[in-house]
Structure 1
Amino acid sequence: MAFSSCIKKSVEGVVLSDATTFEKKMSAPNVQLIDVRTPEEFVEGHLPKAVNIDVTSDDFETKVTSLDKEQPVMVYCKMGGRSAKAAEKLKELGFKNITDLDGGFSNWSNENKPIEK
């Protein structure tokens, strides 16, 4: 299992979505869009209406408890590794509808999707 950190594993109950599908889902009502990168990465550019909750910070679990577990949660990071961890953690905390952006912000940018700064 030494190489497992490099491989993005799917978590049951988490939908892995390409950028186009992710973008469509973002416009649904009550979607909670979470950028799990660092604040420094977030200010350099992020998806429109995203909220920054850094998955590597000590208070990640505390901050996500303010989210509604019954409403859809969409997560992304730079490449997909940290968002997979965040999605797994959200699932453990009882969130029911989780979507993870496949390829993360890098893939989103490469497809020329809208970005806010």
Structure 2
Amino acid sequence: MKNQLALLLLLISFTACSQTTTTSYKNIDQKIFAEMMTGKDVVILDVRTPGEYSQGHIPSALLVDYTNPDFAANVEALDKNKTYLVYCASGKRSSNASALMTKKGV
């Protein structure tokens, strides 16, 4: 489990996205992600599949599967007053998810 978490954190350095305003998001490195994840009003979103999530995830990360047909509806239900740290395995889903979240004003 520790190895999986270490791998996950390594991948975060390449894939994490943080919403900065309602009009954009930015890619952040592992160090900034780690600093931000304990902040007030910060929510960590894991946009991988349930199978990937069950193999290991960041404690307190919420699973919001990007491939789920209800993903857009799930995004709309998110609190717009929170900061979201979004991650996946390679960066593509987290980038696409962050772009959609930005488009929806989250």
TM-score normalised according to structure 1 size:
0.69
Matches within 5 A, 1:7-18: 13-18=24-29
Number of equivalenced pairs:
87
1:21 maps to which of 11, 15, 32: 32
Q: Deviations over 1:25-46 (max 9, x none)?
A: 0010111110000000000001
SS of the residue corresponding to residue 42 of structure 1 reads helix
CA distance in structure 2 between the partners assigned to 1:28 and 1:51 by the alignment: 16
Distance in 1 (alpha carbons) for counterparts of 2:90 and 2:34: 16
Identity among equivalent positions (%) equals: 35
Shift in Å at residue 14 of structure 1? 0.7
Q: Which segments of 5 or more consecutive residues in structure 1 lack a partner in the other structure?
A: 1-7, 96-117
Q: Which runs of 4+ in 1 moved over 3 A?
A: none
Equivalent residue in structure 1 for 2:94, among 83, 86, 103: 83
Which runs of 5 or more residues in structure 2 are unaligned? 1-14, 18-22
Superposition TM-score, scaled by structure 2 size: 0.75
Instruction: Looking at secondary structure, tell me which structure has more strand per residue.
Output: 2
> Structure 2 CA distance, aligned partners of 1:39 and 1:51?
11
Confirm or deny: 8 A CA contact 1:33 1:74 kept in the other structure.
yes
Structure with the largest fraction of helix: 2
